[in-house]
Structure 1
Amino acid sequence: MYISITKQHLDKTFSRSASDFVDYLQKENQGKEPEVQEHFFDQENDRIPPEQVTKEIDGNTAKLKKTEPKFYSLTINPSQRELKAINNDPELLRRYVREAMRDYAASFHRDRPVTVDDIKYFAKIEHGRTFKGFDREVKENRPYRAQIVKLENDIRKIERGELQGDIRRTEKRIAELYAQIPHKIHGEAIVQGMKKPGFQTHVHIIVSRKDVTNRYSLSPGSKYMESESKLNGRLVKRGFNRNLFYERAEKTFDTMFDHKRNFVETYGARKTYLKNPHKYFARLLDLPTSERSAAFKILGKAGVKMPIVSIPTSKVQVALKTIKKFKRAMDVARSSGSIGI
């Protein structure tokens, strides 16, 4: 499970309306009959018109400055293993989102407990993703594609008499390069914009910066992380605890659907990797045999090339070169968005 939280956008000032973002979230519904469209939903309602979403988010921005975001965007990205656990069922995913938003609300610290009833949010399920330019498959295919495009241009120049060469030999070289392209789907080379295979269902959530009364700010932004401050002469916690939210949301999924989460799929493991890759790798090799084998399989599907998988756990301290190779492979997969780190 990979959950991201971002503010309205990254510019210095913020649009007064959420309409552009709401319109963007309607992209998968274009050309579909109403009965097969995915609708916005909240904690109680399953079919909320996009116009109502825009109206309620735009109308809940009292006293916010131009330099302050009006809303935040949450994206819940279940892994393919997690989607398989719920049979890619959108109704089960909606149930999970509603429970996860309880976890989101409970991760705020104010002078009183915050509940999901204090949060104004609207969520929408999307089923597809496309390959981006930074995806590992696109990046690794790119050098082959560049050579093929150059050779195709050469053929056109030869046909126009602008270049001397053997067209048949050039075509043969193009065929050889195409056969060597490492990543294909049904025989077609993966390029930017191509649809990703398998379950790709995920959820976009638009959350108002203000609570439902339009009086209090509930910001999950990095400037408003959990901290302590004095209130009426005593120390109290304020702000938003992201770690708590991510951990609770993960446990909620596992509890709801009896999901057995592997070490490499946990939020705690991802944090360990970022802070201490050596410790992450040592912990990985110290797993029971069956869980370690499953972990390697999961990482392999994510595009992480394991340099050595048979190294004994007693020799972890002498495996520095292996760990460095592993980290490079993990970084490649991470930068392409293949794994939830």
Structure 2
Amino acid sequence: MEEAAQETFFNQEADAIAAEKVIQEIDTNTAKLKKTEARFYSLTINPSQREQAILQNPSTDLKAYTRELMKEYAKSFHREIDGRPVNAKDLKYFAKIEHSRTYKGTDKAVRENQSYIAKVAKLENDIRKIERGELAGSVKATQREIERTRKAAPHQQNGRMVETGMPKAGAQTHVHVIMSRKDQSNRYSLSPGSKYKASEVEFNGKKVKRGFDRDRFFQKAEQQFDKQFGYKRHYVEQYQARKTLLKNPDAYVKKLWQMAPSQRKLGFQILREAGIKTSVPTVPVNQAQLAAKVLKQIKKGVSRAIRSGSIEI
């Protein structure tokens, strides 16, 4: 049996949880929620290729990491349950490890290949019409045109045009976590999407704490990974560095340029592996030149929301 087929749901306390039980537990833990309110939230633990390379046993290691991470997730709520801080035992969540990913239509590689994909689809349809006698032309010539189109596509994987449904190459182990909006007692609402970082509000004459500290959670996520697996995280992989890039891009680039040559080279390599097209200047340049040439490339590639290298909510 393949490893992927053996994976089952787990939570903080138990392993081998049936999918049917997960559905039932999430669906019935919705007391006093409005129809327009989310019943659950999803969290993805998505280690990079560099992070995965350090894991000895991806399934075992990521299961242990998930359980430690959910402790930090609970601590990131500025809430109290029965007069005490939220802890991992209050969470109703279920997680599952998966070992493969396929390209989706929203992936950059697929989007940039789309005109080629569409042309191939048209040519394949032309072949069917030629075979039915509805269109004049040569099947072999059309097949050769299909091959030329596939090879011309900008994004290739193992000699094949990247398209929707194609399995992604490399280590793709990741964890999907489904978290009920309500706690285990089905009394308290715990929303990681809260716009309130940490504050208090008066409710029914009582002061109630509210909010979720996303910054804390993302920072603790990478700190826990690094501590648990002895990972040496480069500056460009750090959550705080990504925030610096948005708030003070000049400081971000200056930090890169002040690194030892080997570390600077590694930093740009990591950025390229993340899909950000960059080139390292081969001769020293001043800060203005560096900002004009390199920063523009980096900022163009950073189009998604800031997150930890391993975590998405």
Instruction: Give the whole-Å Cα distance in 1 for the aligned partners of 2:85 and 2:57.
Output: 33
Change (3 A) 1:51 1:152: closer
Name stretches of at least 5 consecutive residues in structure 2 with no aligned partner: none
Shift of 1:35: 10
Q: Is the 8 A contact 2:4 2:98 kept in 1?
A: no
Give the number of equivalent residue pairs.
304
Q: Which residue, out of 23, 26, 32, partners 1:54?
A: 23
Question: Matched residues in 2 for 1:259 and 1:57: separation?
Answer: 34
- Unpaired runs of at least 5, structure 1: 1-31
Q: Percent identity?
A: 50
Higher normalized contact order (CA 8 Å, seq sep 6+, divided by chain length): 2
Alignment partner of 1:219 out of 188, 191, 213: 191
Partner of 2:174: 202
Cα separation, partners in 2 of 1:83 and 1:232, compared to 1, 3 Å? same
Alignment deviations for residues 43-94 of structure 1 (CA, whole Å, 9 cap, x no partner) = 1211112222223223322222222222222111111211111135201110
In structure 2, do the counterparts of structure 1 residues 78 and 88 end up closer, same or farther at CA, with 3 Å as the change threshold? farther
Give the 3 Å change call, closer, same or farther, for CA 114–299 of structure 1 in structure 2.
same
Of 279-288 and 76-85, deviating more is 279-288
- The TM-score with structure 1 as length reference comes to 0.77
Task: Say whether the 8 Å CA contact 1:88–1:199 is kept in structure 2.
Answer: no
Q: What RMSD, in angstroms, separates the aligned Cα atoms of the two structures?
A: 3.3
Tell me, yes or no, if structure 1 residue 289 matches structure 2 residue 271: no
Within the candidate set 274, 292, 310, 1:321 is matched to 292
| 1:88 and 1:201 in contact (8 A); partners too | no
Q: Offset of 1:236 from its aligned partner?
A: 8.0
Is residue 44 of structure 1 aligned with residue 13 of structure 2? yes
Looking at structure 1, the residues matched to 270 and 37 of structure 2 have their Cα atoms a distance apart, in angstroms, of: 40
Q: Once the two structures are superposed, what CA deviation does each residue of 1:185-224 show, in whole Å capped at 9, x if it has no partner? A: 3322211111101111111111122222222222212344
Where in structure 2 are the equivalents of 1:114-193 lying within 5 Å?
A: 114-153=86-125, 160=133, 162-163=135-136, 172-193=144-165
Which amino acid in the other structure matches residue 59 of structure 1?
Answer: T
- Which residue matches 1:270? 242
Distance 1:306 1:119, change over 3 A: same
| 1:67 partner letter | T
CA–CA distance in structure 1, aligned partners of residues 23 and 139 of structure 2: 57
| Greater Cα shift, 189-198 or 282-291 | 282-291
Which amino acid is the alignment partner of residue 128 of structure 1? Answer: S
Preserved contact between residue 151 and residue 160 of structure 2 (Cα < 8 Å): no
Equivalent residue, structure 2, for 1:106:
75
State the one-letter code of the partner of 2:118.
Answer: A
**Cα 1:148–1:225, aligned 2, differ >3 Å: closer, same or farther?**
same
The match for 2:35 among 58, 66, 78 is: 66
